[in-house]
Amino acid sequence: MTREQLLTGLLHVIVFMLGAGIGSFLNVVIYRLPLGISVNNPRRSFCPHCKKQIPFWRNIPIFSWLLLRGKCADCGAPIPFRYFFIELLTGVLFYLEFRVFGGQWEYLSAWGPMVLLCWIFTALLIAGTFIDFDHFILPHEITIGGWVVGLLGSFWVPEMVGETERGRGILISFISSCIALGLLWAVVELGKLAFGRLKEVFEKPQSWSISQPDEEKPPVFKCGETELPWADIFTRASDRLLIKAPQLQVNDRNFTDASVEIKMTSMKVKSGAGEETFELEKVTKLEGTALEIVIPREAMGFGDVLLLAMIGAFLGWKAVLFVIVGASVLGTLCAVLPRLIGKTEWGARIPFGPYLACSALIWLFYGTQILDWYLERMHLRA
């Protein structure tokens, strides 16, 4: 083996382990960011069970999980396989991007910026994907922060959006993100009109209540075995939660055969005694029985809209169109198949962000080839 071959092989190992190390940091981001915990304080990772900080020799990406057999060395609590998987996934994707978009070491100045932007983009997608899986949210630090990085990156490396001039690069990046916002926001609004309400009718009255167990957190709506956080019901001022209540108690008052209309901050009750309006801040007890409920719901969260805008800023308008179609196909397949075989309930929530992210990565690696193949099939290109 020559010296050049040895150095090239070492470079490949370094790139993979760099990706795995970034994956280890992404595990921290995925766990801490939704909980409002600083990703820098404490600086070292800690076990979620015993809270002991993990020394660096037990925090080697990929290898530590294997050597510890997926358990904490202090308390023996299991370390989810996902920690290992994210480190491995990030390492593999970083390495593939290095191979596809990189080149020989001596030409680093030519391909280095492109690969660096691909790495940043990939890290944002991975963090957003697994946060969305866990919490059904996409934090602004990832979507809006990533959008800013995408705009600046398109000026630095206009080839990311298919341009050669920096001025045109950032312009196309901005226009692409606006197209993404407009298209997906239209989907959200149309979906709201078509599927914006979930109606449940019960043969027998079901008990329900709205309470706030933790004063620092929003209220929780419970009906039978269903429990929904306030933010899952009310995402805009026009949303209404409707309940036909044979029995209703508001503070120390009782109503019968009431129609209840609950908004984000107020409530209207219609009964034989007339119509009354209550401010929810002044309601300390709210419960009753229900024969029918109508729950507002979103076809898609606004975090998904911002994520697509970020993707457009990094990859351009062609990627936006591809990702919308690709994510819809992936989402349909991955959502319908488990329901058909009875593995998931039809009413279960589905995060859409992971499908957007997966489609964006498909475009990153194979978008041009897929587009050329499609245009040739449609006889739109000679």
Residue 109 pLDDT grade (very low, low, confident, very high; cuts 50, 70, 90)? low
Beta strands in 104-225 (DSSP E): 197-211, 220-223
Looking at residue 274, its amino acid is: G
Pick the more confident residue, 102 or 289. Answer: 289
What average pLDDT does range 171-182 have in this prediction? 95
Pick the more confident residue, 45 or 140. Answer: 140
Predicted pLDDT at 231: 74
Mapped onto helix, strand or coil, the DSSP state of residue 79 is coil
Predicted pLDDT at 106: 62
Q: Which residue has the tokens 């009109």?
A: 193
Predicted pLDDT at 343: 56
Among 125, 275, 139, 75, CA closest to 267: 275
Residue 347 pLDDT grade (very low, low, confident, very high; cuts 50, 70, 90)? very low
Residue 298 pLDDT grade (very low, low, confident, very high; cuts 50, 70, 90)? low
Contact in structure between 302 and 188 (CB atoms under 8 Å): yes
List beta partners, residue 295.
198
Contact in structure between 312 and 176 (CB atoms under 8 Å): yes
Q: Which residue has the tokens 């309601």?
A: 283
94 pLDDT above the threshold of 90 = yes
Question: Residue 78: is it exposed, middle or buried by C-beta count within 10 angstroms (0-12/13-18/19+)?
Answer: exposed
Pick the more confident residue, 87 or 37. Answer: 87
Pick the more confident residue, 236 or 22. Answer: 22
Predicted pLDDT at 68: 85
CA-atom Rg of the chain in angstroms:
25
| Range from 157-161, 245-249, 367-371, 378-382 carrying the lowest mean pLDDT | 378-382
342 pLDDT above the threshold of 90 = no
Phi first, then psi: give them for residue 209, nearest 5 degrees.
-160, 160
DSSP line for 234-256: -SSTT--EEEEEEEEEETTEEEE
Residue 340 pLDDT grade (very low, low, confident, very high; cuts 50, 70, 90)? low
Q: Is the peptide bond before 55 cis (omega within 30 degrees of 0)?
A: no
Q: Which residue has the tokens 């008052």?
A: 253
Residue 54 pLDDT grade (very low, low, confident, very high; cuts 50, 70, 90)? confident
What average pLDDT does range 319-343 have in this prediction? 80
DSSP 268: E
150 pLDDT above the threshold of 90 = yes
Distance of CA 221 to the CA centre of its chain: 23
Contact in structure between 172 and 165 (CB atoms under 8 Å): no
Joined together, the tokens standing for residue 240 give 């209404």
pLDDT tens per residue, range 264-288: 889 999 988 889 999 988 898 999 9
- Residues 23 and 36: their CA atoms lie apart, in Å, by 20
Residue 37 pLDDT grade (very low, low, confident, very high; cuts 50, 70, 90)? confident
Predicted pLDDT at 91: 96
- Residues 6 and 230: their CA atoms lie apart, in Å, by 58
Pick the more confident residue, 160 or 77. Answer: 160
What average pLDDT does range 327-352 have in this prediction? 69
Question: Residue 347: is it exposed, middle or buried by C-beta count within 10 angstroms (0-12/13-18/19+)?
Answer: exposed
31 pLDDT above the threshold of 80 = yes
- Residues 71 and 54: their CA atoms lie apart, in Å, by 12
Predicted pLDDT at 112: 85
Predicted pLDDT at 161: 93
- Residues 101 and 111: their CA atoms lie apart, in Å, by 7
pLDDT tens per residue, range 205-257: 999 999 887 777 788 899 887 888 887 777 777 788 999 999 999 999 999 99
| Cβ-count burial 280-294 (b if 16+ within 10 Å, e if not) | beeeeebebbbbebb
Average pLDDT, the chain: 86
The pTM of this model reads 0.79
Measured in residues, the chain has a length of 382
Residue 346 pLDDT grade (very low, low, confident, very high; cuts 50, 70, 90)? very low
111 pLDDT above the threshold of 60 = yes
The residues near 157 (Cβ < 8 Å, ≥ 6 apart) are 113, 114, 117, 169
